[in-house]
Structure formats: structure tokens, C-alpha cells
């Protein structure tokens, strides 16, 4: 007799519609795929300090570098973390090898050009400018970079500051994020979160998509933003 098999079929995923008055966008992993550079830099740093590079990368995404270092080396003086972070930022800013736009990002940025939005990133101004330029993505006029906050994600300060600069209540904002730290920051700010890419699903975003090709943006007559999200992710079901 033939061996029995279990077929798995992806459950159909219904579109999710969200409305907002402003959009707050992370950069790395959300608009820009910089994983190749991040991996090179953090693996080198971890190995120099006798740490497991994979463990370092699990923590690094979404946080400012000094905050990641403080978790990995809890007894280390913070001034050394800030010094290493400055070196890390300079190295990343000089390395654009493998930096590409996330699928759908160019069209998404075009679609939201006239709508209220801000970039909220753990990169500093120089790194954010370099990566957006390398991927030929438009830099938002309103942006909150590392120099403008006192606390790294997962603290909500950056997203709250972005909402304040746009003059929008946090509850009326939708965040786009890829990392656990970033999703936690958005939720702590009282915002809904569209999780982008494979890292996002485990961290409880409002809705989870593979990339920005699965998000349609349209303005409404009353001035709000309508997001129609068609996620490809679905829990498999046994057939």
C-alpha cells in the first residue's frame, strides 16, 4: 500500500482594511533591505568581543547599536558602547554593497507622497540618507533619526515624536515595521502595526505581510488614509 501523506494547503487570507491619519515608517527591513551590511558589521563586532554572532543578530535588528551592545555586554560601560556605535554607523554608512529596496517600496513611497507620513529609524541622519539614496527611495520630509531621541526602540519615543511632528494622535497612526523591537515600540505608542517580512510575524503586529507589494494605499474624501492589506501569510491547514 502506498504510504499515507498529509497535504497542507494555505488558508485563504482575506484583505484587511485599516484607516489612519498618518503613517510612520521604519527604514531597515521595511523600506530598505540592508541585511547584508548589518550581518557583516555585527558578525565582525560579535566575533571581536567573543560573542555568538547569531545571538547578536537576533537582538540587533530594530535597535540602535549601543542598545544592542548593552544587552550583549551588560557590565560594559555605556560610553564604550556609544563609541563602538559611532564606529559601526560610520562603517555602515560607507558600505552600500547589497543594499536594495524592499519589494514594493518604490511604488509605496510614490503612493504616499502627498499623504502625512514620517520616517522613524534607528539609523542616524547620515546612514538614513545614504541608504535611501542607494535604493533611490524618496526621503520623507518629516523624519525621526537616532540623533533626535534619547531612547532606542523598543521604547516608543521615536514613534510618539513622529506622530507629534505630524500633529496626529498616536491612535490615528499606523506603523510599518519589520523587527521585534520596532513592533513593540509601535504597540507601546498605542499604534497599529503592519509587520513587514519574515522577522515580523512572531512579534504580534496588527497584520503581517511579506513586503510592501501586499499593501495598497488610497486617500479618502474625508482626508484619512485607507490601507488595503492583502497578506500572503496564512497558517497552514491539514487537508
Catalytic position from the list 26, 35, 178, 211: 26
Strand partners, 228: 17, 216
Question: What is the spatial distance between Cα 163 and Cα 26, in angstroms, rounded to a whole number?
Answer: 13
Q: How many CB atoms lie within 10 A of CB 204?
A: 13
* 3-class DSSP state of 163: helix
Catalytic residue among 28, 35, 124, 172: 28
Q: How far apart, in whole angstroms, are the C-alpha atoms of residue 180 and residue 195?
A: 9
28 catalytic residue (yes or no): yes
CA distance 202 to 185: 15
Cell of 23: 503613517
Angstrom distances, CA of residue 220 to CA of 15, 107, 154, 163, 216: 18, 19, 32, 20, 13
Residue whose C-alpha cell is 520623507:
140
Residues designated as active site: 26, 28
Amino acid at each position: 500500500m502506498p504510504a499515507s501523506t498529509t497535504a497542507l494547503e494555505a488558508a485563504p487570507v482575506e484583505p484587511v482594511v485599516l484607516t489612519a491619519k498618518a503613517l510612520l515608517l521604519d527604514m531597515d527591513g521595511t523600506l530598505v533591505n540592508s541585511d547584508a551590511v548589518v550581518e557583516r558589521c555585527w558578525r565582525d563586532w560579535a566575533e571581536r568581543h567573543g560573542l555568538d554572532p547569531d545571538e547578536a543578530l537576533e537582538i540587533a535588528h530594530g535597535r540602535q547599536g549601543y542598545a544592542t551592545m548593552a544587552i550583549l555586554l551588560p557590565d560594559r560601560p555605556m560610553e564604550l558602547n556609544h563609541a563602538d556605535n559611532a564606529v559601526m554607523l560610520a562603517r555602515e554608512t560607507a558600505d552600500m554593497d547589497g543594499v536594495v529596496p524592499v519589494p514594493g517600496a518604490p511604488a509605496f513611497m510614490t503612493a504616499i507622497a502627498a499623504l502625512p507620513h514620517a520616517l522613524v529609524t534607528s539609523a542616524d541622519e547620515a546612514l538614513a540618507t545614504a541608504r535611501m539614496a542607494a535604493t533611490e527611495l524618496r526621503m520623507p520630509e518629516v523624519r525621526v533619526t537616532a540623533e533626535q531621541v534619547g531612547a532606542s526602540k523598543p521604547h516608543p519615543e521615536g514613534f510618539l515624536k513622529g506622530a507629534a511632528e505630524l500633529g496626529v494622535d498616536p491612535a490615528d497612526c499606523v506603523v510599518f515595521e519589520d523587527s521585534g523591537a520596532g513592533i513593540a515600540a509601535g504597540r507601546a505608542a498605542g499604534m497599529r502595526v503592519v509587520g513587514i517580512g519574515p522577522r515580523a510575524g512572531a512579534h504580534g503586529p496588527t497584520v503581517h505581510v511579506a513586503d510592501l507589494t501586499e499593501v495598497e494605499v488610497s486617500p479618502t474624501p474625508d482626508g484619512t488614509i485607507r490601507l488595503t492589506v492583502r497578506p500572503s501569510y496564512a497558517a497552514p491547514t491539514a487537508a
